[in-house]
């Protein structure tokens, strides 16, 4: 219909106006509502940020029961304070780039044997305050794992799991937190040459064999507060003397027990096997350090070579370019000189004529 537009009467025009106003007001009120929401409620989905030159996902405190689909390539995953119950074999299979994984304060109690296997680059794992009774022994073979925090779990089946552990472990553990884990002895992880900080506090240990300590030949600090009150004094003596001799800082909540006459009178017999254990730990430490330095040396050499090659290729390329340019110039000259020659020969011809 040709006149349909002009047929819009003043009535319908005003209703359009009302609609537009309503729309504008609607969006505005929606906006102010979301502002209020933003101020009052936490975000309900994971956020992404860069920290220490790494890409990380932050999903803390979102009441999530499973790890949602995340952007690939994340190196940090903060999933603390959620409701995760299970770590399945494929939970982390898409996130093998993770280096720092924080899972504290969830409700984790089932961990698949292969849950951590994809995490080749994992350096720090925080499993504190969950309901974990054991961790798969494969965790201790992750080649980059330096910090392991498991405080506040009842690790009552850990010893059983570790029966199949291959020792020495591959993880270069530096910090190990097993505080408040209801263990009655320190787990047998074999030599731990890189270990600096061991937190075994609040555990009510029934023994503290010197052999375990000798396996940690670079230990700097050991927290034993609330853990050794049940151990016989004379059984404790060699370990305490050893820690003292090796300048290991140890925390006890009650030093009165080892300042008694009774403790002083206990014999401090060090079994002969201890030196062997200690030497094995030291040897592995040196081996690891040499490995690292030789890797570094190789990296430097390879880097130097690569740099040299790149420079060499660049020079070749530049030479090639200038050659091409020269040839082109030469060709141009040649293509212009014949015409000169022609003119010249024409001139000669003219002169001859």
- Interface contacts to ligand NAG, rule CB under 6 A: 151, 179-180, 199, 201-202, 223, 251, 272, 275
- Rank residues 233 and 270 by Cβ distance to ligand NAG and give the closer one: 270
| Nearest one of 171, 197, 186 to 284, comparing CA atoms | 171
CA gap 89, 106 in Å, rounded:
18
- Rank residues 257 and 282 by Cβ distance to ligand NAG and give the closer one: 282
From the CB of 245, what's the least distance to ligand NAG, in Å? 8
- Rank residues 106 and 179 by Cβ distance to ligand NAG and give the closer one: 179
| Nearest one of 212, 225, 230, 216 to 251, comparing CA atoms | 225
4 burial via Cβ count (<10 Å: 0-12, 13-18, 19+)? exposed
From the CB of 266, what's the least distance to ligand NAG, in Å? 19
CA gap 205, 225 in Å, rounded:
11
Cβ contact 101:124 at 8 Å = yes
From the CB of 253, what's the least distance to ligand NAG, in Å? 11
Nearest 5°: phi and psi at 51?
A: -145, 135
- Rank residues 64 and 189 by Cβ distance to ligand NAG and give the closer one: 189
Position of minimal CB gap to ligand NAG: 179
Half-sphere exposure of 134 (CA within 13 A, CB side): 15
CA gap 108, 87 in Å, rounded:
7
CA gap 158, 189 in Å, rounded:
11
From the CB of 79, what's the least distance to ligand NAG, in Å? 20
From the CB of 212, what's the least distance to ligand NAG, in Å? 17
- Rank residues 166 and 275 by Cβ distance to ligand NAG and give the closer one: 275
- Rank residues 161 and 180 by Cβ distance to ligand NAG and give the closer one: 180
First-to-last alpha carbon distance for the chain, in angstroms, is 89
Tell me how far CA of residue 21 lies from CA of 13, 14, 17, 211, in angstroms.
13, 11, 6, 81
Q: Which residue has the tokens 């007001």?
A: 25
Tell me how far CA of residue 282 lies from CA of 63, 217, 221, in angstroms.
45, 6, 17
- Rank residues 92 and 198 by Cβ distance to ligand NAG and give the closer one: 198
From the CB of 272, what's the least distance to ligand NAG, in Å? 4
From the CB of 191, what's the least distance to ligand NAG, in Å? 16
């Amino acid at each position: 219909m040709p006149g349909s537009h002009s047929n819009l009467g003043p009535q319908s025009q005003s209703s359009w106006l009302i609609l537009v106003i309503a729309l504008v007001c609607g969006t505005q009120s929606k906006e102010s509502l979301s502002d209020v929401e933003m101020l009052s409620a936490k975000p309900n989905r994971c956020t992404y940020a860069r920290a220490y030159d790494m890409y990380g996902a932050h999903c803390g405190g979102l009441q999530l029961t499973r790890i949602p689909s995340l952007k690939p390539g994340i190196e940090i995953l903060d999933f603390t304070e959620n409701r995760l119950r299970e770590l399945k074999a494929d939970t982390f299979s898409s996130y093998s780039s993770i280096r720092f994984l924080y899972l504290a304060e969830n409700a984790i109690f089932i961990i698949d044997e292969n849950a951590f296997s994809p995490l080749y680059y994992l350096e720090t794992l925080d499993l504190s305050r969950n309901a974990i009774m054991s961790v798969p022994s494969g965790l201790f073979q992750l080649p980059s794992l330096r910090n392991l925090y498991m405080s506040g779990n009842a690790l009552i089946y850990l010893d059983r799991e570790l029966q199949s552990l291959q020792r020495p472990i591959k993880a270069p553990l530096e910090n190990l937190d097993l505080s408040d884990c209801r263990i009655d002895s320190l787990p047998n992880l074999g030599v731990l040459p890189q270990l600096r900080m061991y937190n075994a506090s609040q555990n009510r240990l029934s023994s503290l064999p010197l052999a375990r300590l000798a396996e940690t030949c670079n230990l700097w600090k050991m927290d034993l507060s609330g853990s050794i009150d049940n151990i016989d004094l004379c059984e404790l003596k060699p370990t305490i003397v050893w820690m003292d001799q090796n300048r290991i800082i140890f925390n006890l909540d009650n030093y009165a027990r080892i300042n008694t006459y009774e403790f002083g009178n206990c014999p401090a017999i060090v079994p002969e096997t201890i030196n062997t254990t200690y030497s094995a730990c030291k040897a592995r430490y040196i081996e690891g350090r040499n490995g690292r330095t030789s890797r570094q040396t190789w990296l430097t050499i390879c880097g130097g070579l690569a740099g040299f090659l790149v420079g060499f290729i660049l020079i070749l390329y530049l030479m090639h370019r200038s050659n091409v340019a020269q040839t082109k110039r030469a060709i141009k000259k040649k293509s212009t000189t014949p015409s000169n020659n022609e003119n010249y020969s024409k001139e000669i011809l003219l002169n001859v004529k």
